[in-house]
Each structure stands twice: as structure tokens, then as C-alpha cells.
Structure 1
Amino acid sequence: MTTLADRDWRLIRDDPRAGATQMSLEEVAARTALEDDLRTVRVYSWEPSTLSLGYRQDVDTVDWDFCDREGIDVTRRQTGGGGIYHDRYADISYTIVAPADEVPGDLMDCYELFCEPILEAFDRMGVDAAFASAEQEAIYQPSCYLRDINPAHDIVAPADAGADAQKISGNAQYRQRDVVIQHGSISYDLEPRKHVGVFDADLEASTFTDRVTSIHDEVGIDREDAVDAIAGALGDWSDATESTWRDDELDAARELADRKFGSDGWIHDREVLAADEQ
């Protein structure tokens, strides 16, 4: 349990939602943390499967025809880094939202704090995972899972494999309205054809499987059990109360998805429509 557990937290085991809505809900949760003194941890999935671009990623790196053909949505995150293919089944994602003045000001210290429940979840599942102990050079920079592996925020398995360890989770942070938001992608299983196919590059599926591992490959547990372990670790870490989104939060997220995370202006040029331009 974290020292933050004496505050009010909620745990949301979220429904599968479109990528634009999932990104919007993070900003809505930031507002709730400030205005209602209620922090959020959640576990979620993406439906349809979605490619989330890093904040500054060039849209020319996307194979738009492949995404259209495979029914893969595209959105853009607030966090930097490379694109992540979030498969409806193979990816499990999480979010932690808390006021900035309650968490360490040093970025690395904050990563260490917010990744505690993620590492605990891996331990509960029997996955030998840890922060990367050695850097690995990038294979393909536009892809999060094929970028250089950074010991500060990349989680790998097995923990003691050094430079041979494979990435199993990528984590990133940003600040919104004096709130720290951390989100992460956890590989439950691998979909290498789609992971490389969403990018406009000549990449073999083996390029992905050589660099990345998954919960299923490491310990073979059911996806539902993996989700339960992640949700349980997040809830125990924050002493959170199980909850759901309020209707007004869902309404606000839909509106934000329309004018920001689901709009061509944001996805292609990081432009946000004003409320009266929808």
C-alpha cells in the first residue's frame, strides 16, 4: 500500500471502449481529481483495436491502408514515444491519476512509485518482471515496443536476463491541470503481424517477437485472471473503492473525444477543436 492510500481513490474495471474515448476519460479523471478530490486507478481495453500514436509521432509512419483493412482505429496520446498497437485481446492497459502536489516531483521517482502496483501485479501472476537493468538500442523508433529500452520506465522479463530480457510493459506520464496521469500498455499476448503491420515499414513479425514477451508466454494464465491481478494490485496499492464512471464524466469524455482525440485535426496535427467548432 502506498503512502497515498490515505486519500480517496476509486478503482474502475472499465468497459472496452474506443481509443478516443479511453484517452478522453483520462483527462476527465484529472478534472475529477482536482474538483472532487477523488483519484483514479483503472484497468481497461480498447475496442476496436487501436493504434495510439505518440504525441509528436509523424502520421506518415502509419500504414493507413492496413489499419482500414484490419478495422484498427487510430488516435494520438498526450504522452510521447512511439506508437502502440492496442489489440482488443492481447493488450491490457491501466491508468493512475493523482494531483501533482501529492506525488514526487522528480520524474524517475514518480515512475518508481506509480509502477509499484504494476510490478506487484506481475509478481502475483508469477511473471519474473522488473524495470530493465540494461539499455537496448532501438530497432524501429516509431514503435514503442521496438524503440530503445529505457531502464527508467520499461518493464522487461525475465528480470535477470540483462540485455536479453524482453519488453512486457511500456509506461508513460504527462501532466494535465496540475494532475499527474500515468498510463501503460501491458502485453497479455502477442499479435506480431498487426503490431508491425500498422506501421508503414518493412518489418518482419519476428522483429517484434524477438524484442517483446507477454504474460501468456511467460506463465500461460487466462486473460481474465491477468486483468484481476492488475486491478487487484492497483486497488490494494491505493486502498481504492471499486467504482464506475459517473454519467457526467462519460458525457464529458464523449464530447472531448469528438473534438480532440477522435478528430482528424488532433490525430494528424495535434489540433483541438473549440467547443463551438464541432
Structure 2
Amino acid sequence: MTVITDQHWRLIRDDARDGAMQMALEEIAARAALEDGVRTVRTYAWEPSTLSLGYRQDADTVNWEFCEREGIDVTRRQTGGGGIYHDRHADISYTIVAPADEVPGDLMDCYELFCEPILEAFDRMGVDAAFASAEQDAIYRPSCYLRDINPAHDIVAPADAGADAEKISGNAQYRQRDVVIQHGSISYALEPRTHVGVFDADIDESTFTDRVTSIRGEAGIDREEAVETIAGALRDWCGADDATWRDDELEAARDLADRKYGSDAWVRNREVLEAGDH
């Protein structure tokens, strides 16, 4: 694992928060990297469970009635790809935020670098995982975990299973104001009923379980140990200091969550409200 320790990084083992706030905090972390020279790695969970739509995903692909009945939030990411159901317990998420001029300019090289601590965490947990070695065709494109599997950024297990490998982590990047943000969803456990239920499509649960695996299924460890292992690998990768969000960062994130990630205008139409337009 390449170790990046020549800059100041912070590790935030974040609280469980709603989807709008979690997405807003990524933008606030980007601002801190650009303005304060603070680079961030973090682990986090979603509460309530949340469906995050890809940036250009059609809102009509969502089963809104199911989400409302099940108490599942819906937000929209800055990154593309399909929607991801982030279960409160079955999903573990992470973020890496750094100035763009400090990381590889080539997207694939940057993915490789930023996924190193994630692959290291799988190794520490006893999960035989690696970047996909073979492409797999999409089953249902609006779902991230059922889209085509791409060797560039999808992590699968077992590592040497080729086209029979199952997805265990999806990762995405975007650049904003000269800052690179990578976030990823790591499958801790499987919740197939809700994973397919959030989409307005007739998808059999077995379609999901045949394509996706999990940390618990591969290694049998508990969630707390998995989260701590991922956090530890991120910390070791960049020499991060343990930290928490500053009060001003949380305040700014709450405002951004209200105006953007938690608004129907953004979730359904990618429109951002101006300050005061609630």
C-alpha cells in the first residue's frame, strides 16, 4: 500500500446522519481542503437508510411509494452512475477529499491510489477482494450494484473469480473547485428486499444476491470491527490525525443540506435553491 504522509490529513469517524447531510459534508470537506489545506478521510453511515441517486439518474426510476412506506430517504449525489441503497447497517461508506494538484491527474490512476486503503482494509478483514478483472454486463442500469461491472473502479470478491466474481464495493470520483472527492459504498451485509424495492422495476431479489457479496458473508466479522478496520486502513494510508467536524463546518453543511441535497428541486431535477429559497 502506498503511504501518503507528507501532508496534513484528518480522519473523521462520522456519526450516522441523513443522506442530505452526508452529501453536504463532502462539499464542506472540499472547501476545507481548498481554503484551509485540510485533507479528509472519513467513514460514515446513513440514518435513516437512504437511496442516493446518480447525478444524471431519472427520478422516475425510484419507487417513491416504497421508499416512503419503508422510511427510506432519497438524495442525489454529485457523482454519476446508478442509485445506491445505503442501508443503515448493511452499508459502510467512506470519503477521501484532497486538493487535485496533490493527486494523479489521470482518473484511473487516481482511482487506483484512492482505493489502495480500501483494498488494504479488505485484506486485513480476510476478504479476498480486488479490482474486477473482467467486465460484466449490466442487469439493471439504474442500480449501481446491478450495472455493468467495470475493472476501473469496481471491487469484487473473490479476487480471482473473473466473470463469476461478485461486487462488494462501488467507488466514484468527482472534481469540484480543484478538489478531488472520492466516495464509496462498501457492502457489509445484504438486504436484497430493500435494495431492489427502492427502484420502480420488477427485479427479483435473487438477481441482487447473485451479483453482490458482503464483508459479513466473506469474513463473518461484526460491523463495528469492519468499520474500525476500514478507518484504520485510511488512517495508515495518509497518516491522518483523529478529528471531528468543526462547528462552523456542521453549520455550513446544514445550510447546504437544506438548500441542495435535501430539497425536491435537487433530488428530482438537479436544481439548487438560492439562500433563503426554502
Q: TM-score, normalised by structure 1?
A: 0.99
Q: 2:222 corresponds to which letter in structure 1? A: D
The aligned residue for residue 134 of structure 1 is: 134
Task: Describe how 1:167-246 pairs up with structure 2 within 5 A.
Answer: 167-246=167-246
Q: Give 3-state SS (helix, strand or coil) of 1:5's partner.
A: coil
Shift of 1:5: 1.5
The aligned residue for residue 80 of structure 2 is: 80
**% identity of equivalent residues:** 82
Q: How many residues align?
A: 278
What CA deviation, in whole Å up to 9, does each residue of 1:21-55 have, x standing for no partner? 00000000000001111100000000000000000
Q: Is the 8 A contact 1:4 1:102 kept in 2?
A: no
C-alpha separation between the residues in 2 aligned to 1:242 and 1:7? 15
Q: 1:152 corresponds to which letter in structure 2? A: A
Q: 2:101 corresponds to which letter in structure 1? A: D
C-alpha separation between the residues in 1 aligned to 2:24 and 2:5? 25
What CA deviation, in whole Å up to 9, does each residue of 1:85-114 have, x standing for no partner? 000000000000000000000000000000
Match status 1:146 vs 2:149: no
The aligned residue for residue 271 of structure 2 is: 271
Q: Is the 8 A contact 2:125 2:226 kept in 1?
A: yes
Q: 1:104 corresponds to which letter in structure 2? A: P
The aligned residue for residue 108 of structure 1 is: 108
CA RMSD, Structure 1 to Structure 2 (Å): 0.7
Shift of 1:2: 4.0
The aligned residue for residue 251 of structure 2 is: 251
Shift of 1:67: 0.2
Q: Is the 8 A contact 1:141 1:147 kept in 2?
A: yes
Q: 1:31 corresponds to which letter in structure 2? A: R
C-alpha separation between the residues in 1 aligned to 2:128 and 2:250? 37
Structure 2: gaps of 5 or more residues: none
Q: Is the 8 A contact 2:24 2:253 kept in 1?
A: yes
Q: 1:94 corresponds to which letter in structure 2? A: Y
Task: Describe how 1:14-53 pairs up with structure 2 within 5 A.
Answer: 14-53=14-53
Shift of 1:66: 0.3
Q: Is the 8 A contact 1:54 1:79 kept in 2?
A: yes
